[in-house]
Amino acid sequence: MADYCSNKIDFIGDNRQAAFDHFSQMGYDSPPFHDILISDEAVYFESRWIPPLRDLNRIAEQFDVDYKLTYQLPNERKKEKYSYTCLHNEKFGGPAATLAAEIKRADSLEALEKSEHELHELGDKAQLNNHERSLLAHLIGKRSEHLLGVQQEQQLPDQDIHERRPKR
């Protein structure tokens, strides 16, 4: 039988209530989260052996929140701490900050293509380090997924109307 790690997570950001609601909908057990308890603006849960960082990071990115995790590994007395900053909240400087703001403002896929082209140009000119380049590429991908979702939502009502029309 696996040993369990005790975890406490505090979400930070405007959408933190959505992250709490997500955990509320999981119920008591939703692997890799076990014995889920929500109280005092924090989520407490057990996990097998180690904290499920990949799953927590995915949830943080889904809701654009940062988090602070306090956990205690099996058979350890010392509590450890871990912090995660969502890509949307990452702090950039110089040209990377300008490009990040441009990506966040993009309201079309064409605008994102322009940002992606600028990302490659800045990278080629060595005006971005590899870390910034990687984070900005992920930010472009995330914004692209959002815009595609908005486009699909806007197209659905029109499709429903056409589908409801009687055929002659």
| pLDDT block averages, 10 residues each, the chain of length 168 | 86 91 90 90 92 93 92 87 84 92 92 94 91 89 86 66 46
What are 50-91's pLDDT values in tens digits?
Answer: 999 999 999 998 998 999 999 998 888 888 888 888 877 888
pLDDT the model gives residue 138: 87
The chain-wide mean pLDDT, for the chain, equals 86
Query: Which of 13-20's residues contact partners 24+ apart within 8 Å by CB, and which partners?
Result: 13/63, 13/64, 13/65, 13/66, 13/86, 13/89, 14/64, 14/65, 15/63, 15/64, 15/65, 16/63, 16/65, 18/63, 18/65, 19/59, 19/60, 19/63, 19/65, 19/67
pLDDT the model gives residue 2: 67
Domain count within the chain: 2
Same domain, 57 and 104: no
Q: Which domain CATH number covers 43?
A: 3.30.70.1270
Same domain, 45 and 112: no
Same domain, 79 and 16: yes
Same domain, 39 and 67: yes
